[in-house]
Amino acid sequence: MYYIGIDVGGMSIKAGVVDANGRLLVKDSVATLPDRHYSEIVADMAALTLKVMSAAGVSISEVGGVGMGIPGTINSKTGVITYSNNINFEKVPVVNEFRKHVDLPVYINNDANAAALGEAKFGSGKGSEDVVFVTLGTGVGTGIITQGVLLEGKMGAGAEGGHIALKIGGEMCSCGKRGCWEAYASATALMRQTERAMALNPDSLMHEEAEKEGKISGLTAFNAMRRGDKAAKRVVDNYIKYVSEGIISMVNLFRPDYVLIGGGISNEGDWLMSKIQRRVNRYSFGGHRNPKVYVRKAVLGNDAGIYGAAALAMKS
Amino acid sequence: MYYIGIDVGGMSIKAGVVDANGRLLVKDSVATLPDRHYSEIVADMAALTLKVMSAAGVSISEVGGVGMGIPGTINSKTGVITYSNNINFEKVPVVNEFRKHVDLPVYINNDANAAALGEAKFGSGKGSEDVVFVTLGTGVGTGIITQGVLLEGKMGAGAEGGHIALKIGGEMCSCGKRGCWEAYASATALMRQTERAMALNPDSLMHEEAEKEGKISGLTAFNAMRRGDKAAKRVVDNYIKYVSEGIISMVNLFRPDYVLIGGGISNEGDWLMSKIQRRVNRYSFGGHRNPKVYVRKAVLGNDAGIYGAAALAMKS
């Protein structure tokens, strides 16, 4: 049996055919063009589904189901998107709409949840039923599988780990509350921290790095630090503290087998993972008396969403 | 069918007989005397079980099972207590030991988890599968039921919501990390906040209130505030912010139906609940677009542990 995973983002719609062993056989994508009416976007999702099935040589009778990961608040039971910031979906019955085009069982969830499920089932957390997946990107996204259950909260409005507190009354977050983890640990936040440190340290190599790249990015401070810049090292050290502190909150609540880290920043790789691991070991509740939690880089990268969406269809 | 709930604390062991409708028919207690060998404590738990069964006129064939709530890290699958601070249990196979005395199925969990289950099944969260229970006492305890599952984490080491971050680098917490929610929102923390405010405000009515009580307590600031004291009002306002901020973190992760508040501070009642409710409504992720979460006082009080322990046996 085969499963279709569809990963919808603000820029592109990706879809793939995954077999029961978790091999991604074929994938393809089209532009989302998010300003269109939802019926057109869903029609493209359906057309892409048929296209990847055809490319993989898989007929509809061989497909167990279609899974979709979509950004926003998703009611997985009713198949309705409550709202989505990235694409213009509000109260959209996406499952019913999709089934007008393709007669298959359809499962839907939030894109971060789907990616977490992909990593837990086929990626760095393979074989575990207790995984916290953290994406350090524009925001801080989290997907949580605990005791084998994908955490959704009422009407899919939970698992918003980016908006747990890090520093009460601190930096303003895009959500309207001050001091969220996301306001300190996202790539966006790191860029803000880098920019401030650059203003205070006109001689820092961060200026040179930013010029080389043509902008301040999530890499600027890391690159300057590697060249021995002290101000950059302070930025990175603090950023690692911010990332770790939120992870420790997640560990104390969920005590998973793995914390998997994705998003652009995770490309800093083993060095970054080991720094976070050390803080998690030291500051998680109960110390060494409690079972160890392993911090790992997520491995599926941009395909995690496709894998996870397909996994939604496998589970059911 | 009847179920026995046993609630073990540092001071006393409580046990009760609960029927399938959640009525507590008989309850009784004995002193824990926690410095004894575990076999003696477990023998007392067994004797108390037989005593309440006898008082309720219930024979062993009418009992579906025995549930136990015990403070500490509990492996509910193996029935072993990994460790417990309040009683001197470390790596104690309490289920096997108990079954030497009473031949019934035995279920075990952390006491805060059991209390949460009690409130979710028979108390303020009756009928809901999504409840976060928060105890504001010596520490901040949390018990979480999400999508009908009692959150335990690996080997029972999760659900330590008292140790999520509130203010990175802030007040030292008993767990060895700085800035935990517990270090700001426990009754102990409120007393510390009250004491500091008293030192800064020698004319505050808090001094009079503390004298009346013979000590600074969790009531001192609340009582002085009610008499119009401004410094006390600032203490209470800040404390409510601390409590609410952690609750909002929990809401953003779990998006439950109810947040139930127990512990001594919860006796401040409706006034306190409505203050917290307002902050939760305003600052939770997604605002009014996401489903409302209701903040309520837990109602089972000291019996929540017995109810919840009995519910452990009912579930299985």
Which of chain A's residues have a Cβ under 8 Å away from the Cβ of B146? 146, 149, 151, 153, 158
pLDDT number for residue A55: 98
Residue A249 Cα, gap to closest chain B Cα (Å): 4
- Nearest Cβ partner for A255 among B158, B241, B293: B158
Does A316 score more than 60 pLDDT?
A: no
Residue A185 Cα, gap to closest chain B Cα (Å): 12
**Rounded to an integer, what is the distance from CA A16 to the centroid of its chain?**
18
Task: For residues B18 and B122, give the distance between their C-alpha atoms in angstroms, rounded to a whole number.
Answer: 11
Q: What percent of chain B has pLDDT over 90?
A: 89
Q: What is the mean pLDDT of residues A35-58?
A: 96
Q: B168 and chain A: CB distance < 8 Å anywhere? A: yes
Task: For residues A277 and A293, give the distance between their C-alpha atoms in angstroms, rounded to a whole number.
Answer: 8
- Nearest Cβ partner for B257 among A154, A167, A291: A154
Residues 113-132 of B with CB under 8 A from A: 130
Residues 251-310 of A with CB under 8 A from B: 252-257, 283, 285-287, 289-291, 293
Q: What percent of chain A has pLDDT over 90?
A: 89
Residues 192-251 of A with CB under 8 A from B: 241-242, 245-246, 248-249
Task: For residues B135 and A298, give the distance between their C-alpha atoms in angstroms, rounded to a whole number.
Answer: 36
Q: Percent helix, strand, coil in chain A (nearest 5)? A: 45, 25, 30
CA nearest neighbour of A297 among A117, A72, A134, A118: A134
Which of chain A's residues have a Cβ under 8 Å away from the Cβ of B255? 152-155, 157-158, 160
**Residues B16-72 pLDDT 10s:** 999 999 999 999 999 999 899 999 999 999 999 999 999 999 999 999 999 999 988
Does B76 score more than 80 pLDDT?
A: yes
Which of chain B's residues have a Cβ under 8 Å away from the Cβ of A160? 252-253, 255, 285-286
Strands B63-70 and B106-110: parallel
Q: Percent helix, strand, coil in chain B (nearest 5)? A: 45, 25, 30
> Which among B163, B181, B258 is the top mutation candidate for probing chain A, defined by the most A β-carbons within 10 Å of its own β-carbon?
B163
Question: How many C-beta atoms surround the C-beta of residue B288 within 10 A?
Answer: 9
Phi, psi angles (nearest 5°) of residue A26: -145, 140
Which of chain B's residues have a Cβ under 8 Å away from the Cβ of A293? 154
Summary count for chain A: helices (H), strands (E): 10, 13
Beta bridge partners of A135: A141, A262
DSSP-derived secondary structure for B162-214: GGSBSBTT-SB-TTS-BSBTHHHHSHHHHHHHHHHHHHH-TTSHHHHHHHHHT
Q: Do A146 and B154 touch (CB under 8 A)?
A: no
Q: By CA distance, what is A73's nearest residue in B?
A: B290
Does B316 score more than 70 pLDDT?
A: no
Q: Do B166 and A163 touch (CB under 8 A)?
A: no
Does B228 score more than 90 pLDDT?
A: yes
Q: B161 and chain A: CB distance < 8 Å anywhere? A: yes
Does A39 score more than 70 pLDDT?
A: yes
Q: Which domains are assigned to chain A?
A: 2-123+302-315 (3.30.420.40), 131-298 (3.30.420.40)
Q: Do B253 and A161 touch (CB under 8 A)?
A: yes
Residue B181 Cα, gap to closest chain A Cα (Å): 9
Q: What is the mean pLDDT of residues B294-315?
A: 94
**Residues A149-191 pLDDT 10s:** 999 999 999 999 999 999 999 999 989 999 999 999 999 999 9
Q: Please, how many CA atoms are within 13 Å of residue B37, restricted to the half-sphere of its CB?
A: 4
Beta bridge partners of B149: B146
Q: B155 and chain A: CB distance < 8 Å anywhere? A: yes
Local structure of B75: helix, strand or coil: strand
pLDDT number for residue B288: 87
- Nearest Cβ partner for B285 among A163, A256, A291: A163
Q: B163 and chain A: CB distance < 8 Å anywhere? A: yes
Q: What percent of chain B has pLDDT over 70?
A: 99
- The runs of H, that is alpha helices, within chain B are 38-56, 94-99, 111-122, 182-185, 187-200, 205-213, 220-226, 230-254, 269-283, 304-315
pLDDT number for residue B129: 95
Does B216 score more than 90 pLDDT?
A: yes
The yes/no answer to whether this complex scores an ipTM above 0.90 is yes
Q: Do A73 and B286 touch (CB under 8 A)?
A: yes
Does A221 score more than 70 pLDDT?
A: yes
Tokens of B80: 């072993």
Question: How many C-beta atoms surround the C-beta of residue B154 within 10 A?
Answer: 21
**Residues A242-260 pLDDT 10s:** 999 999 999 999 999 999 9
Q: What is the pTM of this model?
A: 0.94
CA nearest neighbour of B282 among B234, B239, B245, B229: B245
- Nearest Cβ partner for A290 among B73, B144, B291: B73
